[in-house]
Structure formats: structure tokens, C-alpha cells
Structure 1
Amino acid sequence: MRRRFLASAVAVVTVVAVVWGGIAWWKSRYTVTTDDAYVDGTLAPVSAKVSGQVVELLVRDNQQVKAGQVLVRLDSRDYRAKLEQARAAVLIAERRHHAAIERVGLGRELAVSQRTQARAAAIRADAARVSAAALLDSARATVHARRAALASFKADHDRAMAMRDRATQDLARARELFKKELVAREFVDHAETDARAAEAMVTSAAERTSQAQRDLESAEADARTREQGFDPQQLGTRLAEARMVDASAADLNAKAVLQEVKVREAERDLADAQWRESQADLQLATLNVEYTELRSPIDGLVSKRSVEIGQVVQPGQPLLVVAALHDIWITANFKETQLRGVRAGMRAEVFVDTYPDRPWRGVVDSISAGTGSRFSLLPAENATGNWVKVVQRVPVKVVLEETPSGNPHTLRTGMSAVVTIHFR
């Protein structure tokens, strides 16, 4: 009886061992497991960007906060004063910039005005030359007209003298005939009247001829005077010289004005740069005022608060951490010998030590680019002679699946876990 019991016990143990071994073999073939795993998540440190004294502390440890919520306020009076200074500097620089632009415009208008004046002077010189030529032509025409008039008056004088000679001869014959009593006294009187009329005509013609001669001489003198002042070659030379002088003066003035315009343009560019610099200072001052309010970058719980009211903080100094419990995952450190069949997208099962009876489903998200020791602060150096081979571990990121109530908020970063990855 005893032997039968022992045989049955041995058979049961053998069956259990075989079954257990079969299960272990199946699991080793289609799953890999590690207990070197931890809950991980997003930790957003909140640090000061400007120095200042803490005047308000609006959160406590482990308090739920929203993204954008004010957590800490610093004393902003100094920064607000600098902000007002920056605004005043922007206003001053803007006015200087506008004034510089107006000065450049005025300089350009002055250059255009001087060019216009130089052109007007040249036009006036041409007009003077044309006017002088017209006056000379008029004087010459007057001389020709006076010469024609003089010739006409001389012809009249010659005719009057001829008529006077004929009247004188007629008077002498009339007197001879009257002495011989061949004609009456009236015939002699008529001859005398004709002689006196002819003499008067001669006198009048002589006076007109003399006046015409004087007019001609006056016209010729005026023409000679204008001809002496209007030598075409000399006048052209003088006009060219005058134009050259005007052009030189205009060129010098234009260069001076252009140089002044360049100086004003440089002043305008400098004013523009100063204006932009003042705007940048204003933006920086505005940001510094905003930086006196430290806001939460994400939704989560406040952790590691290391700041108190009245404390003076410096830029870059960490004040607290916001842990995003809605964005957590599992970092499982598998042995390098276990990763042969592990791929992204495989199913995973997670047990957290805090809740050993509650499994969480997950998916392999990614495998690290290197082992944990490779990315440590002091990587291992195996170049010594007494090197001992150690199996390395590679971090694998496992993302937990959504649950009906959302992501598992009950988990906290740093909790220990056991992760099993299923190949099928």
C-alpha cells in the first residue's frame, strides 16, 4: 500500500513537473519578462527666467494644476519701471526716425530745386542772346530803311533844284519880254511866284534830306554799337563761359547737396536702427514683466516644491516640478539576450508592485538606441585587462492602453513594475 502511494506521488510530481516545465518552455518561447521596470512619465520643471523676490506662492505640494495656471509671482515693480522706460525710449526713437526721414526728403527737394534754378539760368542766357540778336536785326533794318528814305529825299531835292532852275530861267525870260513890252505884268508876277515856290521846295527838300542824313547816321551808330556788343563768336564764347560757370556752380551745389543727403540718409538709417533696438528692448521688458508670473507648462500635480515666500530666486533656479499623470508609460529594462524577438507594437502585460493583483495592458512603443550603462553619467570603460563580461540591459518603452476611465491616474512615476511582452 505504501509503495502504491509513493508511486502515485512520484507520478503526480512528475506530471506537475512536466506541465510546469512545459508552461515555462512555452512562456520562454513566446514571452519575455523583467522585473527591472518602473513607471515613468512627463516631469516639467518650473524654473525662474528672471531674478526677483517671491511675493506670492499660489500652490502647495501635490496640488492639481492646469496648463497656464499661475504658480508663483515675483516682485515686478523694477521690471514694470524698466518697461515704462522702454516705452518712452521707443517713442523718442520713433520721433527721431520720422524727423530723419523728413530731413532726407527736404534734402532731395533742395537738390531738385537747385537743378531747376541752374536750368532756368541757362534758359535766361539763351533768351538774352536771342533778344540781342533780334535788336541787332531791328537796328540793321532801321539803317536800311533810313538809307532808302535818304535816297528818296535826295531825289526829291534834285527834282526841286531842277524845278527851281527852270523857274529861274522862266522868270528871266519873262522879265526880258516885259522890258520889250511883249508880255503883260501879270506874266512876270506869275513867273516870280513860280520861282519863289520852286526855291521853297528846294529849301524844304534840303531840310528833309539833311534830317534823313542825321537819322541815317544815328541808326548806323546804333547798329554799330549793337554789332560791337553782339559779336556772334564772342557772344557764344561768353555764353559758353557763363554756362560753364553756372554748370560748375550747379555741379558743386549738387555734389554738396547729395553729400548732405547721404549724411541725412545715414542719420536716417541710424535712427531706424535705434528705433528697432528700442522696440526690441520694449519687447524684452514686456517679456521680463510676464516672466515674473511663473505658470504651469502642463496639466498635472505639483511636486518637489523648493520655494517659499520672500525667497530671492535667480534665473534658471528650479522652483518646483509639475508631474503629468495623464501622460505616463513604463520603462522596462530587458536583458540584451531577451530582445531578439521584441518589436514595436507587441502586446505587453504590466503588474505594478503597488497593485499586484491588477494587470495593465500595454503596447511596446520603442526600444532605446543604447543600453542603460551607455547613457549613464559615467559610462563603463572595458579597456582594462581584468574585464568581466556583464549582461547589459536595454530600456524598452511600454505605453499603457486607454481604460474606460482614461489613463491610470493611480500610478505614480517611479513605482516598480513587472513587464511581460508577448510575441504572439
Structure 2
Amino acid sequence: MKYLKPIILALAVVAVGGGLWLWWQHESIYPSTDDAYLKANVLSIAPQVGGKVETVSVSQNQHVTKGDLLFRIDTTDLEASLKAAQAAYDTAVQQTNASITDLSSLSGRVDSARAALTDAQDAYDRTDKLFKLGDVAQAALDQATTTRDQAKAALDTAEAGLASARQRAGQAGKDNPAVRAAKAQLALAQINLSRAKVTAPVSGWVANLDLRPGALVAPNGPLFSLVEDGDWWIDANFKETDLARLRPGQPVTVNIDMYPGLTLEGTVQSLGAGSGAVFSLLPPQNASGNWVKVTQRFPVRIALDTRPDDSTMQLRVGASTRVTVDTSGLDAAK
């Protein structure tokens, strides 16, 4: 009887030790963490043009489908800009056509100047022969020379004007540089007018909405968020001592705190290249003499393979989860 208590105590110690060993083995094969949060793509909705908000077609937490109208900006200024761009384009086309017409006129002047030079040259040749025969005076030869030189100068001037007009006109019609520039401005004005209607780039839920009709918005200024309902994943922070057995592709069991009893399935997608502390705003500096070693945690990306069957169990960004990774495949592969 006197040995009963020591035996019971020894059995208790063995049982506790065995339980701790089994727990340690289980935790080694099935590492888990509560430091895990549900994530999704969150898009910032911003207009590409500024102006006064005319209508807001969505409300807070509303689910929208890709292409649904979110809000509309007043188009008065944009329509005026479009009309101005259209007028500038029409003017550029008219100026180009006028330049082409000038080319025809200047080409005719060149032909006339060339013909006049030919006549003046013939008159000079005849006068020169008569002067050599002594039939005309020096003054007649000088006059013929002056007329020829003037005709040659007129031809040079006409040809220079024609070359300048060709350079100004460039290529014909819509290929003219001025026309291309005006056409580009017109296209931009048309695009800006279409951007007055802001639509959902993806399907998801509207969040952080406080936009109201009449508000003035600036281009590229974020107004509210859209939580995409496509891909969902979990960012789980595991202790560095757990990483030795973690591999991409391993199955994961996911429990979400807001839905007790719900279990989802996932897959390890990737392991972080650095600890969370390294990428924090103020990384720790351990250069002091009172340094204390702290187990670091590394982010592990887990892809969510299943969704809740119950439509009322909506997934929500930032929800706390508990994930457990099944690493038994490593032992089976040995």
C-alpha cells in the first residue's frame, strides 16, 4: 500500500510526459497558427476625369457586377472640350486643304516663271548675236541681260515658295502632322467624355463609400473601395520553427472565427522571403546589450480552395482564422 502513491505519481508523470510527446509530435506534423487573416483584392475606385458628381448609383456594402455603373460625373465641361477639339480638328483639315490648293497655284506660278525665263533667254541670245554684228547698241544688250536675270530670279523665288508650301502642307489630308495632332486631341476628348461614367472593374462589394451627388472630385483621386469577390486567400504568420516542414502545395484546414463549426480547405501557395518584422515600418534594432531572442514569424500565403455553401456566410476581408497544415506527406515520401 505504501508503494501505491509513488506508482500512481510515476504513472501520472509518464502519462503527462507521453501526452506532451504526442502533442509535440502532432504539432510537428500538423503545424497551426491563430495569427492568420482572410484576404482578398481590394481596389481603390478613382475617376480618371475631374468634375462634379451627378449621380451615385451604389450604396455602402452593395454587391455589384463587373460593368455596373458606380457613379457619373457631370459632362457639361467635357462636352464643351469635345466640341473645341472637334473645331480644332476641322480647322486643321481646312488649313491643310488650303495648303494643298496653294500648292497648285504656286506650281502654276513656277511654270509661268519658267516660261518667262525661256522667252527672256531667247531674246537675250538674239540680241547678243545682233550686238556682235553691230546691229544693236550696248544698251539693248544690257536691257536683254537685265530682263533675263530678272526672269531667273522670279523663277528661283517661285520655286522657293513652292518648296516652302510643300513643307508646310506636309503630306496630303489626314496624314498631315497638324491634322494628326488635332485628331489625337479629339480622340482624347472623346475618351474623357466616356470616362464620366465610372463602372465597376470587377465584381465585388462596395466599401468605405461616403460619396454624394454634388461632390467635386479630382482625377485619379481615390473615393472608395471595392472588395473583389474573386480570389480569396489567407495570410498566416507561422513561427520560424514551423517552416522546416512547410512546402507549397500542402493541404490546409481553415476555420473562420466568425463562423464556428465551418471548416474550409486550402493549399499552401508560397512562403514569405522575410519575417514580418523585417518589412515593418520600424524594423527592430538588436544592437543593445539587453537583447532578448524572440521567435520570429514568417508570412505564409494560403490559397482558399473552397467557399461556404451557405450564401449567408459571406467571406469578409480581415476575418480572423485558424489554419492547420498537413505535412504528413513529407514522411510518406521518405
TM-score by length of 1: 0.63
Aligned residue number for residue 218 of structure 2: 314
Q: Shift in Å at residue 304 of structure 1? A: 1.0
Aligned residue number for residue 332 of structure 2: none
1:48-197 counterparts in 2 under 5 A?
48-115=47-114, 117-119=116-118
Aligned residue number for residue 22 of structure 2: 22
Q: 1:103 to 1:381 in 2, by over 3 A?
A: farther
Q: 1:382 to 1:11 in 2, by over 3 A?
A: closer
Q: Once the two structures are aligned, what percentage of the paired residues are identical?
A: 30
Q: Shift in Å at residue 12 of structure 1? A: 6.9
1:260 aligned onto 2:161? yes
Q: Equivalents in 1 of 2:293, 2:206: separation in Å?
A: 43
Q: Equivalents in 2 of 1:413, 1:50: separation in Å?
A: 30
Preserved contact between residue 40 and residue 413 of structure 1 (Cα < 8 Å): yes
1:412 aligned onto 2:316? yes
1:288-367 counterparts in 2 under 5 A?
288-367=192-271
**Which residue identity lines up with residue 370 of structure 1 in the other structure?**
G
Q: 1:74 to 1:25 in 2, by over 3 A?
A: same
The number of aligned residues is 322
Query: In the alignment, which of 176, 185, 202 is matched to residue 281 of structure 1?
Result: 185
3-state secondary structure, aligned to 1:286? helix
**Structure 1, unaligned runs of 5 or more:** 133-228
Q: Shift in Å at residue 51 of structure 1? A: 2.6
**Which residue identity lines up with residue 393 of structure 1 in the other structure?**
R
1:180-219 counterparts in 2 under 5 A?
none
- Cα RMSD (Å): 4.0
**Which residue identity lines up with residue 256 of structure 2 in the other structure?**
V
Q: 1:359 to 1:253 in 2, by over 3 A?
A: same
Preserved contact between residue 60 and residue 302 of structure 1 (Cα < 8 Å): yes
If each structure's helix is expressed as a fraction of its own residues, which one has the higher value? 1
Q: 1:21 to 1:98 in 2, by over 3 A?
A: same
Preserved contact between residue 124 and residue 148 of structure 2 (Cα < 8 Å): no
Q: Shift in Å at residue 329 of structure 1? A: 0.5
Q: 1:383 to 1:4 in 2, by over 3 A?
A: closer
Aligned residue number for residue 221 of structure 1: none
**Which residue identity lines up with residue 54 of structure 1 in the other structure?**
V
Q: Equivalents in 2 of 1:64, 1:422: separation in Å?
A: 35
Q: Equivalents in 2 of 1:41, 1:282: separation in Å?
A: 39
Aligned residue number for residue 39 of structure 2: 40
1:129-185 deviation per Cα after TM superposition (whole angstroms, max 9, x unaligned) = 9xx9xxxxxxxxxxxxxxxxxxxxxxxxxxxxxxxxxxxxxxxxxxxxxxxxxxxxx
**Which residue identity lines up with residue 159 of structure 2 in the other structure?**
L
**Which residue identity lines up with residue 27 of structure 2 in the other structure?**
K
Q: Equivalents in 2 of 1:37, 1:380: separation in Å?
A: 22
Q: 1:55 to 1:230 in 2, by over 3 A?
A: closer
3-state secondary structure, aligned to 2:233? strand
**Structure 2, unaligned runs of 5 or more:** 330-334
Q: 1:12 to 1:304 in 2, by over 3 A?
A: same
Preserved contact between residue 264 and residue 308 of structure 2 (Cα < 8 Å): no
Larger radius of gyration: 1
Preserved contact between residue 32 and residue 338 of structure 1 (Cα < 8 Å): yes
> Greater CA deviation, 41-50 or 2-11?
2-11
